[in-house]
Amino acid sequence: MKKTISKGKGVTAAEVKKLALSFPEAHEKPSYNRPAFFIAKKFFTRVRSEDASLVMGVEGMETRDMMLELDPETYFITDHYKDWPFILVRLSHITKDELRAMLERRFNKIAPKKLLKPAEEKTPAKSVKKAAKKPAKKRAR
């Protein structure tokens, strides 16, 4: 049974680059003599020109194996990645939103804490806690 690609699926290498570089401290530099993207000093992702796929780190080998089993048309590995928690993602099988979600998960895993802290402080729960700790100002009469 062949999986059909839904309308609107597929991202380009240019779209990957634009989105990857939109993250704080993201920059492009070579990895295995190929253009790749890093967050601070850690590998973020790269596009494999040989098969139009994206190299993406995942939470662990169990996650990788589950992804391979659930959607082998989208996710695959080569012998190079068999012992590492990385998966290859066919760009023709994902949407921009799916790409963004994958990159956000990866960013949250590898980014230095100083880059994650501002996002955490903006959450409503933190704002409420901070407001509760401050005593109310008394009005002058």
pLDDT at residue 138, as a whole number: 54
> Is the CATH number of domain 13-133 3.90.1150?
yes
CA 121 to chain centre: 21
pLDDT at residue 140, as a whole number: 56
Could you give the count of Cα atoms lying within 13 Å of 122 in the half-sphere of its Cβ? 5
- Per-residue model confidence as pLDDT tens digits over 76-89: 999 999 999 999 99
What is the DSSP pairing of strand 42-48 with strand 34-39?
antiparallel
pLDDT at residue 8, as a whole number: 66
> Is the distance from CB of 91 to CB of 75 less than 8 angstroms?
no
Residues of the chain scoring pLDDT < 70: 1-8, 117-141
> Is the distance from CB of 63 to CB of 77 less than 8 angstroms?
no
Residues 6 or more apart whose CB falls under 8 angstroms from that of 85 comprise 57, 58, 59, 60, 61, 63, 64
pLDDT at residue 48, as a whole number: 93
pLDDT at residue 7, as a whole number: 52
Domain regions of the chain by residue span: 13-133
